[in-house]
Every structure is written in C-alpha cells, then in structure tokens.
Amino acid sequence: MNTKKGFTLVEVIVSIGLFSILVAISAGGFTHALRTQRQIAALIAAQSNAGLALEQVAREVRTGYLFCHDLTGRPTCTPAGAGPNIYSDLNFYNSASANVCYTLANGALQRNDNCSGGGTPQSVTGANVVVKYLTFTVFGNQENDQWNPRITISMGVAPSSNDPAIMNDVLDIQTTVSARIIDCNSIGC
C-alpha cells in the first residue's frame, strides 16, 4: 500500500481563490479606512484653522468700541437681511483706535485694518478653509443703552478639498464676545 499525503489540484485552487477573496475584502476595507482618515484630518484642520481665526477676531473685539457705527454715530455695517442687528461684516475701532473691519470675501474671513482709509484686506483663515457663510449679530451697540456691546459671530467652514465626499460638509462654528467698554457715544470713548 502506497499512500501519499498531500492536496489535490482542486483543493489548492479553491484555497487560493478563498485567500484571494479575503485579501481583496481586506484591501478594500483598508483603502476605505485610509480615505476616511484623510477626510477626518481635513475636517479637523479646517475646524482648527477657523477656531484660531475666530479667536483672533474675539481678542480684537473684546477691546473694541463703536461697533457698526463711526465716530459721528452713522451706521457702517452692511445688514445681512436675516433680521435686525445681523450684519454681513463687522466694522469697529480697536484698542489702537484703528478702524477695523472683518468681512467674507473669496471664501475667506478677511480683516482690513484701515476701513475708513481703504486699507488692504488680508485673509485671517488659511488656504485649507473655505468660509461658506459669515454673520455678525450685534447687541448693545447703541449710544447710552448701558449695555456692553455683545457680538455673536456665526461662521460655516468647509475644508478646501477636491474630495467630493467632504466638499459640501459645512462645520458650523459660533462664538459670542462681549466688549469690555460699556458704552461709547459720538464724542468718543
């Protein structure tokens, strides 16, 4: 009796086929996980950049005065049309008495450090962020109302990516900042 132990050709082909199917499923799952990780990293980077930009605006607003009014008391902000005291830009005087304005232009939050004299706007957000919308809700900015001016900044950001899975994902970010100066009048602060 001569018995040899081993696999038949059919058994080898079936095992190679099953192994190939498992490798294909694993590779698909791995590439999907990598794509998801890249998308999440882009969203986190956009949120981080937008958060830093909002913090920069908030620091300047805390020490600002005459929000949406000039030194003569005339309104200077552009109404957003979404309700009273909601503006598409924010114009005020900072602690150095410079007329500063923040606005949305070309998908970026921009700061102009000389609004009254036609200064040059500069982007506050990075190139990895597209700002979809920006509104400023201003409360307590009227003369002699005895309220600290309070500004709510609402911004929608998306990562600037060619990936169609996250191109339209908008992260809604909002913060409210209270200015330190209680009231200003047309004479000055």
Average pLDDT over residues 141-163: 82
Domain that includes residue 136, residue range:
28-178
Is 65 contained in some domain?
A: yes
Is 157 contained in some domain?
A: yes
What distance in Å separates the CA atoms of residue 10 and residue 17, rounded to the nearest whole number? 11
| Number of domains the chain contains | 1
Is 42 contained in some domain?
A: yes
Is 51 contained in some domain?
A: yes
pLDDT at 46 over 70: yes
Is 100 contained in some domain?
A: yes
Token code pair at residue 73: 């008391």
For tokens 């999907």, the residue is: 32
Report the pLDDT value the prediction gives residue 98, as an integer from 0 to 100: 86
Is 48 contained in some domain?
A: yes
Is 19 contained in some domain?
A: no
For tokens 């008391």, the residue is: 73
pTM above 0.95, yes or no: no
Q: Please, are residues 68 and 92 in contact by the beta-carbon 8 Å criterion?
A: yes
Is 149 contained in some domain?
A: yes
CB count within 10 Å of CB 148 equals 14
All residues at 6 or more sequence positions from 177 whose CB lies less than 8 Å from its CB, including other chains? 57, 58, 61, 62, 150, 151, 152, 153
Per-residue pLDDT tens digits for 7-31: 888 989 999 999 999 999 999 999 9
What distance in Å separates the CA atoms of residue 87 and residue 89, rounded to the nearest whole number? 5
Per-residue pLDDT tens digits for 85-114: 888 999 988 888 888 999 999 999 999 988
